[in-house]
Structure 1
Amino acid sequence: MATAAEPRPGVSQLAGEFRLAALPGSVGHARDMVRSLLGAWNLGRPPELLEMAQMVTAELVAHAVDSQPEDPRHLQTFLDFHGRQVGLIVLRVRLEQRSLLVEVWDDHPEPPIMREPTPDRSDLSRVMVVGTVSKAWDYYLPGSGGRVVWAELHLPHSMPLPEPEE
């Protein structure tokens, strides 16, 4: 079970960060961003890694979207085209040694909910899915506010790693 810890410190070889609206449509956008990012890093093979990275990303982003309060006035928000306040989510993907870290920040100050899945509340089992497919997962509450839920995926030793960007 997660105990509020940051991922182990390390030097990121490559990293990508994306800001998303806390809306259901952002789940698909986040999956697409991860697919593009891993493709640019030549990490699209084996396809199982790409599928796991997309699934973990989708679950973490969906959890952040579902955790948004009904009244987002006290959160970091922006206005959509209709003048509605929309919460902010930040997705960060980092390559460190033989691991791919997927991190999702949202402005919710509470730990993620981990409950047994039920047929009528599959949304509450998302963190359990992440725990099943990832090498490690956890969350932490950064000093700047909100929370970061992260998952670490192991890269096979047979996979060549891209060179760090200059």
Structure 2
Amino acid sequence: MTGQEAPYETRQVRFVDQLSLVATESAVSASRRFLRVALSQWQAALIEDDVLLIASELVTNAVAVTGVVAENPTWDELRRLGLVHVRLVGLRDSVVVEVWDVSDEPPRLQHVGRDSEDGRGLLLVQELAARWGSYRTTGGKAVWAQLAVRPPLPPLPQRPRNERRGSGAAAPPGPGIAFLRHVRVGLGRAL
């Protein structure tokens, strides 16, 4: 999926956090730490694992086309180091992860064999994201993935203090089977 612009309108944006990184292998772990903190602040930790996996794939691809991936780079390679940019955009009911690099080549899904160790990154992005794509930027492209934010489940009700076990009072009978079925149906709809 490739488009020509960002997947959201500016007026929809509630929060934005952005980080620019030198395009080396360490950019992947640095972007993960950055995103973990941002998601925690935004109270969107429920989607943290998916966001971190998507960002890891997108930043890895951006570093591959922008930076140095050699274990022992030469001085000439180090002089040509570029930047990758990671942006997390919070919308009303979703977040968008954007990773910018210097290549103007759009990302392409690869169809790889079962034994292949590489080439599955965008397949993971496609599987985890509600939608994804790319757009051209000045000097390169941005690849983005949008993930829905699920609201947290409400906390379980607490018994009043005098009804808790161990307080000397007998515990009230538990909820009936009809009530438990109703809760299960409600939870199924929330997910």
The alignment's TM-score, normalised by the length of structure 2, stands at 0.68
Counterpart residue number, 1:42: 43
Identity %: 26
Greater helix percent: which structure? 2
Q: How does 1:146-161 map to 2 (within 5 A)?
A: 146-158=140-152
Give the letter for the 2:145 counterpart: A
Q: Does 1:137 align with 2:136?
A: no
Paired residue for 1:111, among 92, 106, 110?
106
Counterpart residue number, 2:168: none
Higher alpha-carbon Rg: 2
Alpha-carbon distance, 1:83 to partner = 5.3
Counterpart residue number, 1:92: 87
Aligned residue pairs, count: 144
Q: Return the alpha-carbon distance in structure 1 between the equivalents of residues 79 and 153 of structure 2.
A: 45
Counterpart residue number, 1:102: 97
* Alignment check: 8 A CA contact 1:19 1:90 kept: yes
Greater strand percent: which structure? 1
Q: Return the alpha-carbon distance in structure 1 between the equivalents of residues 53 and 89 of structure 2.
A: 16
RMSD (Å), alpha carbons? 2.3
Q: Which region of structure 1 is more displaced relative to structure 2, 92-101 or 9-18?
A: 9-18
Q: Return the alpha-carbon distance in structure 1 between the equivalents of residues 43 and 107 of structure 2.
A: 32
Q: Does 1:52 align with 2:50?
A: yes
Alpha-carbon distance, 1:121 to partner = 4.7
Q: Which 5+ residue runs of structure 2 have no aligned equivalent? A: 69-74, 155-191
- Which structure exhibits the higher relative contact order, with contacts defined as CA atoms closer than 8 Å and separated by 6 or more residues? 1
Q: Do the aligned partners of residues 159 and 85 (structure 1) sit closer, same or farther apart at CA in structure 2, a change above 3 Å counting?
A: farther
Counterpart residue number, 1:164: none
Q: Return the alpha-carbon distance in structure 1 between the equivalents of residues 97 and 62 of structure 2.
A: 13
Q: Return the alpha-carbon distance in structure 2 between the equivalents of residues 113 and 42 of structure 1.
A: 32
Give the letter for the 1:3 counterpart: T
Q: Do the aligned partners of residues 28 and 159 (structure 1) sit closer, same or farther apart at CA in structure 2, a change above 3 Å counting?
A: farther
* Alignment check: 8 A CA contact 2:88 2:98 kept: yes
Q: Do the aligned partners of residues 117 and 31 (structure 1) sit closer, same or farther apart at CA in structure 2, a change above 3 Å counting?
A: farther
Q: Do the aligned partners of residues 12 and 43 (structure 1) sit closer, same or farther apart at CA in structure 2, a change above 3 Å counting?
A: same
Q: Return the alpha-carbon distance in structure 1 between the equivalents of residues 78 and 8 of structure 2.
A: 40
Q: Does 1:25 align with 2:26?
A: yes
* Alignment check: 8 A CA contact 2:89 2:95 kept: yes
Alpha-carbon distance, 1:61 to partner = 0.4
Q: Return the alpha-carbon distance in structure 1 between the equivalents of residues 153 and 87 of structure 2.
A: 22
Q: Which 5+ residue runs of structure 1 have no aligned equivalent? A: 71-79, 161-166
Counterpart residue number, 1:128: 123
Give the letter for the 2:150 counterpart: P
